[in-house]
Structure 1
Amino acid sequence: MSGGVSILGVRHHGPGSARAVRRELERLRPDAILIEGPPEADALIPLAPGLEPPVALLAHVPGAPSRAAFWPFAVFSPEWQAILYGTAAGIPVRFCDLPAAHTLAGDAESPAGDQDESFPGDEAARSLMRVDPIGALAAAAGYDDPERWWEDVVEHRGGDTPFEVIAEAMAAVREGHVPDEREARREAYMRKTLRAALKQGYGRIAVICGAWHVPALSGPLPSAAADNAVLRGLPKVKAELTWVPWTYGRLASWSGYGAGITSPGWYHHLFEAPDRPVERWLAQAAGVLRDEGLAVSSAHVIESVRLAHGLATLRGRPLAGLGEVTEAARAVLCEGDDLAVELIQRRMVVGDRLGHVSDGTPMVPLQRDLREQQRRLKLKPEALDREIDLDLRKPLDLDRSHLLHRLGLLGVEWGTPGQARGKGTFRETWTLRWRPEHDLALIEHAALGTTVASAAAQRARDLAEEPSAALADLTSLVERCLLADLTGALPAVLAALSAKAALDTDVTSLMAALPAMVRAHRYGDVRGTPAEGLAVIVRSMLERICVGLPVAVTSLDDEAAANLLKHVDAVHSAVALLSDAPEAGGGDKGAGTGGGTGAGSDAGNGPGGDAGNGAGGHGAGPRGRWLGTLRGISDRQDLHGLIEGRLTRILLDSGELDDAGDRMSRAMSRGQAPARAAAWVEGFLAGGGLLLVHDPRLLGLVDGWLTGLSGEQFTDVLPLLRRTFGSFAAPERRAIGERLRAADRGEEAGEQAVDERRAAPAVATVLSILGKAGTREGTTGR
């Protein structure tokens, strides 16, 4: 203390320091308080009493939001307690660190994440990682853990350590230290702010700063001219600041925050429960374990408290710390189960607390619109993962889905889509988790619109206009627009897609893009947001695929053939979802939307299911055109074995072939190389092994071919065969083996006789499901 100025050196985010600062301010009763932080945020200080920490000051450069910095505060941060004291007492509170306008202009190449550590006080400044003041003092005291030393000296003594002692200790650690350029500028600006406050007539000034900076603000100080020389010529940008919610997870040091702590949840507990903290902590831990269904009694809590205090006594600590209570919880409450200990660590030691800012906080319109929608849709931001299931047939759930998809377009990944439970395209599953950087993303896109819907629509238009956008990117964008119900953006996106598709001559890129387009068309039907012109583009792309595919399958090696087959399967599954009404004549009946997966099984479209679509009888519908193309390609003699086998299987499952056995016989004849025959089998059986179970002839062909190979040939084709048969389900492999064993024994491998009496109840149920209850004709014959 000198000249009415009190320098209170603290450890940022320390409960003991927070209590000590509050008591010292009540004793000093200063007429001005200076706090380490960006001075542009002075106007935001009056909002602090209405905020719920953890919160952070967010500074960003308009037009370049990737250049941003955060200054986090928790309820146990000494700076936060000083702000609350000053605002409650009517005392002027100001920030005194280097302005954000200079901090954000310091390194144009610095990514946003590099600025996260600029506050508070970075125990020895980021650039001085070689100097750890807490570590140096801990080592001098004989401690091997700086955290444990600080807890014993400050936190567990209720903040009774005098600030003069901390200042003396830091002076000893800093002896001979020469600040680097960044630290010198920060401390010069702190002294400049302090001189300005004294010049304005404040007689009792309290300065709350990182303990490392205390020697630079007390004792013999450089002249004002010297400090001005250090600050002269600093680069400067325009910076805007506001309050944003923060989380304890982001306050933890493992998140990369330079001034972070390893256990924010534990420190919050120490601050909120100074009376019997160990007993209260272990009782809460027992409650967490009980919530998960673990049997934890009051006797467990009593014994764990005894063990924690006993460990502290053995180790000479004034109070059991986090290490002792964790060991006690592991041994007694968790009974040695590390998973249970991890649960306590995640829920309590780090914590899931998410802060909240008031409605009066400066926000861009996009943030306010999102806040209103969160209230309307009853979606509360939370720091931990929360899974929700949406039924798109319900208006509320449909609106929630639209919001999450729109935010995804804006880069606000609040929700991550998952695998929906149950069947049907009207279900969605999301995992929600709010992160502080989402506010920065909203600010970044604030110029796109005042609402989430308008901003997302404009973002979609901008993405569609990018010259580098690939065809697959545009088709995916169409799908995302439909999922987000951005019908206003669809015309521009569809126009860009149509132009790109007309110029794209690569068949594989068209095939890669088509499935997303088909899904988009399908989602338009499910969600009630049809996209005019989408069907025309889909049919145009499919037509070009059908024209170009015969050329694309020529002269392929093994890798190229395998890659092309992935596209063929994807297109085949997508075509099954299209309405197949022919434009003029033709059949193509029975093609529904229950089409197969990548295996190309076309459920519901078995042999005989394509009325009017026999070989050569295809109508003008998409499915007929596609199958006709595959049929024409399958008759060629220059195909790769993998492709020929796969096309044969697709056509067989679609009811387009009645000579699959003959084709297999030719493919496995002695005139074919074993490697090509094995590739043919791999492609043919990629649709599953049940075909071999139910078709004895095909099974016999494969068996005869394998047993006819020489030992050397069998060794060559074994890897392909093992990969093929290894993909079958265990029951399929077992059924194939039983069929072969029965054939070796000369037993009848055909279908067993049907017991009509036992089958009647099952048949009646099936007929009822099909809407043909009471029909008896052909009950067992079909």
Structure 2
Amino acid sequence: MAHTLRTVRPRHVLIEGPADMNSRLGELLLAHELPLALFSSYRDKERTHASWTPFCAYSPEWVALTEGHAAGAQVRFMDLPAWHSAFEGVRNRYSDGERRRARAIEALCRKLGLEGMDALWDHLFEQPLELDVLAERLRIYFETLRAEEPASDRDEQREAFMLAHVEAALAQGDGPVMVVCGGFHAPVLARARTMPGALFPSAPADASARSYLVPYSFRRLDSFAGYESGMPSPAFYQAVWDEGADKAPERMLRVAVERLRGRGQHVSSADLIAASLMAEGLGRLRGHTALARTDLLDGLASALVKDALDVELPWTGRGVPSPDTDPLLGEVLRAFSGERTGRLHPDTPRPPLLSDVEHWLAAHGLGPDKRARTVRLELREPKDLEKSRVLHRLRVLRIPGFTRDAGPSFPAEPVLQESWTVAPSEDFISWVIEASGWGPTLEEAASGRLEEALMDAGPDLEKLALLLAESFFIGAKGLARRVLEEVAARARHEPDFTRLGVAVERLLSVWRHDVLLGAQGSTEVGSLIGAAVERGLWLIEQLDGPHQPADKEQLRAIVALRDALRFAAPVLTLDVAQARAVFERRLASLQAPPAVRGASLGVLWSLSHFADEASAEDVALRATRSASRPATLGDFLAGLFRLAREQVVRAPAITAMLDELLRELTEEDFLIALPALRLAFGFFPPREKEEIAQALLPLHGRESSAAKELLSLDVEPAVVLAGAALDDDVEQVLRRFGLTGKEPGNAP
């Protein structure tokens, strides 16, 4: 690139890059520290889009931009703006993932015995070559690729736009035109004629299209971090760029060894010599005049990894390495990736959001220090509540360095304390600038992010309930009102009982406890609860399946309905009589899932439906006996215990009956019932388990004071279960051979 600029001295340099930045090229030409990226965002009523155009020192586009400008050429970008629909779904303008699977590339890799396009590219083009030889290789390579891979609709739109720029420059006739583009487009753009065309589309008037420079890092550029940037191991190629292909391998070998030693890995001088010799041998075997990246990595792997590998070497492919990759190789890859992070020139225009974020962090003393620190908040305190909203807005925007460690899952819960970790992050500025696509202030950006999520949520009531929580956390009253409207519209037609239950749970929490946005006791929220409860009662009648195992989410939904009837019925005039009739029918239905039958009994019991406790216990005893088959007992009890724990603990007759039922089970039946029984008794906290044990022990001739001993187990429950299963297997073998002593007539 630089050689062509010096020898041709073009009048125009046209670069594959976003043409909407042409009026702002001066920002790119400031004295930045690379890598950096151009972040572009777009939002309208129909779609949102974000993409990055990354640059490092050895990017051809960057060389053309900076050296072309220094040579006095008219430098311009010639590609479609990043907001254009042609880039829909493309997060990195220079990604070439689809080209890597071309048949021509795969055939060439097989012929040369190379694994993947990266190794192929190094072999063909990264070796020291005469420039005319390099140019001819590139021409043949890309013409072959273009001949075999038809252009997509996206390619055709972009190439038509780029051709218009090339033809307009040629039409001026004032000097040579140099075009810098991806090799796949070169054969088409080389056929340009001197016919100017339309040059620039405009963004829709009601859309928000913004672009800003952001600091970037080698880590984010690296394809081994999952980013299709076309640049694996960027630190290695930076070393090639800085020191040349001959000296770079020695430098990177030293960097890798220093990193390993810094992580406590023992790498001896003999290991270092072996890695170097192995890499050099592999390079000569592959016909390389300078060590390629894969030569060096293969040499390090062969010298340093002592055990057999469970997976392929990660550099034979793309993407995040397998979790089974040897940790030593993972550290080598991180060394080749590099730690460099770019820095923008102080005069680079900053989006308003960055200044707003810095203002709020300073105002509340939340700016990251050199070390991580803990911030604890009491949300009933106005100052702490404002801090919480700032932190939640940063969290919603996914700004690194702000992590909530503890706090309510919903802001209307009775306990309103939070704990956060605030830590420094090298990507802080980048992510804030990238979040500016959502809005110019922290509050607007966080709300904009959730507004998009609201559009994406569609009819999913569970997602809407989550968005309601988020809108409360960030203090967005208008958004919370719109989410409530969506919840109301959806709740009246929601077909899924568990999703409706989540909505009822959230709405009830807001109606009972919210002091943050003033929704406590709200008539509007109360009407939503009434509609959702009515829908829930209808849905629960549709739940059938006499052999269906207990579903914890279904039970959670029934708890939500019960709590709405318990806490809101007097104020909201809910039809409690109708609800009780529904649960009576569910309890009596043999087609209902056992857990739903047990939960229905629990609802009626906990809502004091029965005349007195004796009547309630009598109904519970009869219903439990009717569900006492091994395959259903545990599920029935799971529903009952989930909804009426306190009532069961105060009813020793229930404990005595369960003890009797369980003692009557054979070992085989007990193993069938055990998983559901574990789920059922798991709903009791330790204190209530102890009360049950105290009622149980006298039935076996033991002192109730020994109850605590039954609550501790020295082995995992799974081990006990496996032991019981083994006992059963042994018993069957003994019986088959007549060795049990129980059936002497069957002895062989």
Q: TM-score range by the shorter chain?
A: 0.5 to 0.7
Question: 1:666 matched to which residue of 2?
Answer: 622
Q: Give the whole-Å Cα distance in 2 for the aligned partners of 1:174 and 1:539.
A: 66
1:631-646 correspondence to structure 2 within 5 Å? 638=588, 641-646=594-599
Question: 2:740 matched to which residue of 1?
Answer: none
Change (3 A) 1:534 1:389: farther
Measured after TM superposition, the shift of residue 164 of structure 1 is: 1.8
Question: 1:701 matched to which residue of 2?
Answer: 657
Measured after TM superposition, the shift of residue 557 of structure 1 is: 1.8
Of 237, 245, 251 in structure 2, the residue corresponding to residue 280 of structure 1 is: 251
1:279-318 correspondence to structure 2 within 5 Å? 279-289=250-260, 292=263, 294=265, 301=272, 304-313=275-284, 315-318=286-289
The amino acid across from 1:262 in the alignment is: P
Measured after TM superposition, the shift of residue 531 of structure 1 is: 1.6
Question: 1:758 matched to which residue of 2?
Answer: none
Question: 1:168 matched to which residue of 2?
Answer: 136
Change (3 A) 1:55 1:633: same
Measured after TM superposition, the shift of residue 484 of structure 1 is: 0.6
The amino acid across from 1:280 in the alignment is: R
- Aligned: 1:750 with 2:704: yes
1:70-81 correspondence to structure 2 within 5 Å? 70-81=52-63
Change (3 A) 1:111 1:621: same
Question: 2:37 matched to which residue of 1?
Answer: 56
- Aligned: 1:112 with 2:88: yes
The amino acid across from 1:565 in the alignment is: L
Measured after TM superposition, the shift of residue 483 of structure 1 is: 0.7
Question: 1:514 matched to which residue of 2?
Answer: 504
Give the conservation status (yes or no) of the 8 Å contact 2:697–2:703: yes
Question: 2:25 matched to which residue of 1?
Answer: 45
Question: 2:471 matched to which residue of 1?
Answer: 481
Question: 2:231 matched to which residue of 1?
Answer: 261
Measured after TM superposition, the shift of residue 260 of structure 1 is: 1.4
Question: 1:402 matched to which residue of 2?
Answer: 389
The amino acid across from 1:531 in the alignment is: G
Q: How many matched pairs?
A: 652
The gaps in structure 1 that reach 5 residues or longer are 1-7, 9-20, 581-618, 755-782
Give the conservation status (yes or no) of the 8 Å contact 1:61–1:238: no
Give the conservation status (yes or no) of the 8 Å contact 1:631–1:651: no
Change (3 A) 1:700 1:114: same
- Aligned: 1:85 with 2:85: no
Question: 1:588 matched to which residue of 2?
Answer: none
Change (3 A) 1:417 1:192: same
Q: Give the whole-Å Cα distance in 2 for the aligned partners of 1:753 and 1:719.
A: 26
Measured after TM superposition, the shift of residue 454 of structure 1 is: 3.6
1:140-539 correspondence to structure 2 within 5 Å? 146-152=117-123, 154-157=125-128, 161-173=129-141, 182=156, 185=160, 188-189=163-164, 191-192=166-167, 195-196=170-171, 199-200=173-174, 202=175, 207-210=179-182, 223-224=193-194, 236-238=201-203, 242-245=211-214, 246=216, 248=218, 251-252=221-222, 260-272=230-242, 274=244, 276-289=247-260, 292=263, 294=265, 301=272, 304-313=275-284, 315-330=286-301, 335-336=306-307, 338-341=325-328, 343-344=330-331, 347-350=334-337, 355=342, 357=344, 360-361=347-348, 365-366=352-353, 369-370=356-357, 390-393=375-378, 401-403=388-390, 405-406=392-393, 412-414=397-399, 420=405, 425-428=416-419, 442-443=436-437, 445-446=438-439, 450-454=440-444, 456-457=446-447, 476-487=466-477, 492-493=481-482, 496=485, 511-520=501-510, 524-525=514-515, 529-534=516-521
Change (3 A) 1:192 1:52: same
Normalized against structure 2, the TM-score is what? 0.65
Q: Give the whole-Å Cα distance in 2 for the aligned partners of 1:462 and 1:316.
A: 54
Give the conservation status (yes or no) of the 8 Å contact 1:365–1:451: yes
- Of 688-697 and 644-653, more deviation after overlay is shown by 688-697
Change (3 A) 1:358 1:661: farther
The amino acid across from 1:162 in the alignment is: E
Give the conservation status (yes or no) of the 8 Å contact 1:406–1:484: yes
> Per-residue CA shift, 1:150-207, capped at 9, x if unaligned?
43555353xxx3332223234445678768683864674464255256x23x47x665
The gaps in structure 2 that reach 5 residues or longer are 310-324, 409-414, 709-748
The amino acid across from 1:195 in the alignment is: L
Measured after TM superposition, the shift of residue 453 of structure 1 is: 1.2
Measured after TM superposition, the shift of residue 507 of structure 1 is: 11
Give the conservation status (yes or no) of the 8 Å contact 1:41–1:241: no
Partner SS, residue 751 of structure 1: helix
- Of 353-362 and 164-173, more deviation after overlay is shown by 353-362
Normalized against structure 1, the TM-score is what? 0.63
Partner SS, residue 748 of structure 1: coil
Give the conservation status (yes or no) of the 8 Å contact 1:521–1:530: no
Give the conservation status (yes or no) of the 8 Å contact 1:55–1:243: no
- Of 23-32 and 259-268, more deviation after overlay is shown by 23-32
Question: 1:569 matched to which residue of 2?
Answer: 559
Change (3 A) 1:731 1:276: farther
Partner SS, residue 242 of structure 1: strand
Q: Give the whole-Å Cα distance in 1 for the aligned partners of 2:606 and 2:265.
A: 52
Give the conservation status (yes or no) of the 8 Å contact 2:459–2:490: no
Measured after TM superposition, the shift of residue 353 of structure 1 is: 5.5
Measured after TM superposition, the shift of residue 506 of structure 1 is: 9.2
The amino acid across from 2:476 in the alignment is: L
The amino acid across from 1:512 in the alignment is: V
The amino acid across from 1:74 in the alignment is: C
Q: Give the whole-Å Cα distance in 2 for the aligned partners of 1:389 and 1:522.
A: 30
> Per-residue CA shift, 1:305-327, capped at 9, x if unaligned?
45444544555533443334334
Q: Give the whole-Å Cα distance in 2 for the aligned partners of 1:69 and 1:516.
A: 35
> Per-residue CA shift, 1:270-310, capped at 9, x if unaligned?
33454843343244334444555555567755654454445
Change (3 A) 1:739 1:692: farther
> Per-residue CA shift, 1:518-572, capped at 9, x if unaligned?
55578855xxx34245555566666777788777655742369856422123466
Q: Give the whole-Å Cα distance in 1 for the aligned partners of 2:377 and 2:41.
A: 38
Partner SS, residue 35 of structure 1: strand
Q: Give the whole-Å Cα distance in 2 for the aligned partners of 1:211 and 1:451.
A: 41
1:571-590 correspondence to structure 2 within 5 Å? none
Question: 2:316 matched to which residue of 1?
Answer: none
Partner SS, residue 317 of structure 1: coil
Give the conservation status (yes or no) of the 8 Å contact 1:501–1:541: no
RMSD: 6.1
> Per-residue CA shift, 1:492-516, capped at 9, x if unaligned?
4498489759978999576432322
Give the conservation status (yes or no) of the 8 Å contact 1:329–1:341: no
Q: Give the whole-Å Cα distance in 2 for the aligned partners of 1:523 and 1:326.
A: 59
- Aligned: 1:723 with 2:676: yes
The amino acid across from 1:420 in the alignment is: D
Measured after TM superposition, the shift of residue 77 of structure 1 is: 0.9
Change (3 A) 1:683 1:306: same
The sequence identity of aligned pairs, in percent, is 21
Measured after TM superposition, the shift of residue 112 of structure 1 is: 1.9
Partner SS, residue 75 of structure 2: strand
Partner SS, residue 704 of structure 2: coil
Partner SS, residue 79 of structure 1: helix
The amino acid across from 1:667 in the alignment is: A
Change (3 A) 1:461 1:638: same
Measured after TM superposition, the shift of residue 73 of structure 1 is: 1.6
